[in-house]
Amino acid sequence: MRPPAGAQLTLAGAMSRADRSAFGNRIAAGTAAEKKAQTLAPLKGILPSLRVEAGYVRTTDPIGAFGSTLRQRTITQADFDPSHLNYPGAIGNYQGGIVLEQPLLNADAWLGRRAALRASDASRASEDWTRLSIRVEVVRAYYGAVLAAERATMLRSAARAAHAHQTQAEAMVRQGLVTKSDALLAAVRAGEMDAQLAEAEGGATTARRQLAVLLGGDGSDLPADVAAPAVLPSADRIRAVIGADTASIIPQSRADVDAAARGLEAARADARRARSTYLPRINSFARYDWNSPDRVYGGDKNWTAGIMASWSPFAGASEIADVRSSSAREAEARAQAEAAQANARLDAEQTRTTLAVALTRLAISERAITQSVEAHRIVARKYDGGLATVVELLDAQTAETQSALSFAQARYAVIVSAAERRRAVGNDPATLAALDDSSAVAPSASTPSHEPQ
């Protein structure tokens, strides 16, 4: 059920929607279903088959006419007259048959079945990895939209403060307390803030559209129900949720590594299948046949049963090409499996470092936001008393705004790093849905709001 227009979309809801509708997940699911269906094809050389036949022929061919008469069991002494044998009249025959065929020994079919099953397992593991990877992208896009919205809010507040500084400077120029250059500098800074605000508002719209497309939207509009929260979770909330990720986690089995391993098994089985085409094949069959001049499945029935062995030691160069290409695919799959394992180990180490750095930056930016707010307050009071220049005031405001933006960016970086860390060690990024706790909001200092009175 779709949420009502304007309802806030949670991270858990976004991931659930992506699991169902994201283009990458749908493509991966289709590929996995195709590979699973292909596992049935080799059963043709393993399971019995039943075929029903029916037909009608009319002929004046001497052998065909005599054979049809014999099959119908209507032969008389007159049928052996040489003139009748040589120049028979046209005779019609309704043919009916039921044929049962049972493969007994087809090594290529059994090995092909094993290869298809392993390929299906690999595709299913790839689907799982795609789902986890898209969940990481959902975290990135979801909180990217939140970051963009929070950034726009900060710059909106900063723009108001800049215009208030401009108004204050202009009033002080009229009172003869400062020079006109103060008012001009304040106007320039206010214009810069307006430009940044316009860019931020456009970025917020784009981020929301990107999130909608990631969740399966067509990108032509902005769905009303893709409304992310206005602010990122607080630093304390983020630390509480991702705290376990900073420990020495023992990596679990990763779906991409499993997919590569299953792919190697499939390639090995396929290489054996290709070589097995040089082996003999043994198949059995049994059939009932009816022949009648009047109707299908009429007359007396005949039965036939037998076993057929066939061996093709050479049938052109196709088997040689199959063997060589399957061996090359096995070598390629082996390299891919080794690469997947190496990349998984590297990814685990890199994400651990990245997350540690992100947490360090978060702590630094958290202190900086408090310091910049206080510095702006002090400079504003000094400017009111004529003890500071407008440049100092505007620089202090800029420092506060940049600190607030950096603090938001630092919180976002920790969340994304945590999602990537969880995927890297084989865990599910969906556990970050714990950040959906609406009671956890960013500290008020993250939004610059100091305006002169």
What is this structure's pTM?
Answer: 0.82
Exposure of 122 in the CB half-sphere (CA atoms within 13 A)? 23
Q: 350 CB contacts (<8 Å, ≥6 apart)?
A: 424
| Residue 238 pLDDT | 92
Cβ atoms of 333 and 263 within 8 Å: the answer is yes
| Residue 357 pLDDT | 94
The structural domains of the chain, with segments of one domain joined by +, span 11-42+110-269+338-446, 49-105+280-312
Whether pLDDT at 438 is above 70? no
| Residue 175 pLDDT | 81
The band of 61, judged by pLDDT with boundaries at 50, 70 and 90, is very high
Question: Higher-confidence residue: 409 or 158?
Answer: 409
| Residue 409 pLDDT | 93
| Residue 453 pLDDT | 41
| Residue 220 pLDDT | 65
| Residue 449 pLDDT | 47
| Residue 227 pLDDT | 66
Q: What is the average pLDDT value for the chain, to the nearest integer?
A: 86
CATH number for the domain whose boundaries are 49-105+280-312:
2.20.200
Cα separations (Å) of 4 from 7, 8, 12, 142? 6, 9, 17, 19
Whether pLDDT at 447 is above 60? no
Instruction: Give the mean model confidence (pLDDT) for residues 80-84.
Output: 88
pLDDT digit string (tens) for 112-150?
Answer: 999 999 999 999 999 999 999 999 999 999 999 899 988
The band of 6, judged by pLDDT with boundaries at 50, 70 and 90, is low
State the sign of the Cα–Cα–Cα–Cα dihedral 270, 275, 278, 283: negative
Is 243 exposed, middle or buried, given 0-12, 13-18 or 19+ CB atoms closer than 10 A? exposed
pLDDT digit string (tens) for 88-99?
Answer: 989 999 999 999
Cβ atoms of 407 and 227 within 8 Å: the answer is no
CATH of 11-42+110-269+338-446 among 3.20.20.60, 1.20.1600.10, 3.30.70.2740, 3.40.50.300: 1.20.1600.10
Instruction: Give the mean model confidence (pLDDT) for residues 387-401.
Output: 80
